[in-house]
Amino acid sequence: MSARRVLVFGGTGSIGLAICRRLAADGDELVVADLGDRGHLISDLPGEGHTFASCDVGDLESVRAVAAACTDITAVVSAVGINYTGPVAETDWSMYERMQRVNLQGAFHIAAACEESCSPDAYVFLASVAGLTGEAGGAVYCSTKFGLIGFVQSFAAEIAARGARANTVCPGNVDSPLLRDLAAAVAEREGTSAEAMLDRFAGDSAFRRLITVDEVAEAVAFLASRRSSGISGQSLVVDGAPN
């Protein structure tokens, strides 16, 4: 059987690279799209035929250019996401606009451009448990992830007629540079240490630990594959048991 081709947006971040490694280990051929010139970051992926494309998901024409250049794409994964923390009354509006553009509008761009050009069988968007339950200091981030989940549910209903699927993966607190930056920012606001914040984040799950990037990648690979052929419009939580 010929290798599947998977287009991964945001594939050079911590979680994105883990997803790429998992898909490549399955024998998939990857087109990895991300900001700037980060092609060297995918050089160690298993298998052959992987390519890199520079892309800004906040720019529709940039996404269209990547999608139009891809052929025989089986699945599309969006591992794009940025974070920001702060109370609503002190919102940094430039960060608000940037997060809406990347986290939510970027998903619209990806879906619209890929439907125009390559019509894949499956889409997987990386959301968050912050898209299921709000939290103090997280209004901006939560708003993008709540919106993303609603978008994917609607989009899944639209593409079902041609047999295609769309789902989200909702990780909890993932051991990653993004979470460590968040822990430092929250710690500064609350007058504690980043290590104490990471311990608190780990305690949010009954596992009493942080989720690994590889655990998230496994969930994404499942939803991107034919193994999940009957699943669409759903949000798969990767966070252990709730407290």
Q: Is residue 232 part of a domain?
A: yes
Number of domains comprising the chain: 2
Q: 75 with 110, same domain?
A: yes
Calpha distance 206→53 (Å, rounded):
39
Q: What is the pLDDT of residues 93-133, one digit of tens each?
A: 999 999 999 999 999 999 999 999 999 999 999 999 999 99
Q: What is the pLDDT of residues 162-187, one digit of tens each?
A: 999 999 999 999 999 888 988 998 89
CATH of the domain at 58: 3.40.50.720
Q: 192 with 109, same domain?
A: no
For the record, the structure tokens of 136 come out as: 């103090």
CB 10 within 8 A of CB 34: yes
Closest CA to 233 of 160, 172, 171, 128: 160
Q: What is the mean pLDDT of the chain?
A: 94
Distance separating the N- and C-terminal Cα atoms of the chain:
44
Q: 52 with 110, same domain?
A: yes
| Per-residue model confidence (pLDDT) at position 2 | 58
Q: 74 with 179, same domain?
A: no
Q: Is residue 178 part of a domain?
A: yes
Q: 104 with 65, same domain?
A: yes
Question: For residue 129, how many C-alpha atoms fall within 13 Å in the half-sphere facing its CB?
Answer: 16
Q: Is residue 88 part of a domain?
A: yes
Q: Is residue 243 part of a domain?
A: no
Q: 19 with 98, same domain?
A: yes
Q: Is residue 104 part of a domain?
A: yes
Q: 27 with 54, same domain?
A: yes
CB-based contacts of 11, cutoff 8 Å, min separation 6: 17, 19, 20, 30, 32, 33, 34, 42, 77, 79
| Per-residue model confidence (pLDDT) at position 145 | 98
Taking 90 as the threshold, does the pLDDT of residue 196 lie above it? yes
Q: 92 with 9, same domain?
A: yes
| Per-residue model confidence (pLDDT) at position 168 | 98
Q: What is the pLDDT of residues 46-97, one digit of tens each?
A: 999 999 999 999 999 999 999 999 989 999 999 999 998 999 999 999 999 9
Specify which of 2-6, 142-146, 192-196 reaches the highest per-range mean pLDDT.
Answer: 142-146
Calpha distance 204→120 (Å, rounded):
36
Q: 151 with 204, same domain?
A: no
| Per-residue model confidence (pLDDT) at position 125 | 98
| Per-residue model confidence (pLDDT) at position 14 | 94
Q: Is residue 242 part of a domain?
A: no
Domain that includes residue 199, residue range: 173-210
| Alpha-carbon torsion (86, 88, 93, 97), positive or negative | positive
pTM for the whole structure: 0.93
Taking 60 as the threshold, does the pLDDT of residue 1 lie above it? no
Q: 153 with 81, same domain?
A: yes
Q: What is the pLDDT of residues 13-22, one digit of tens each?
A: 999 999 999 9
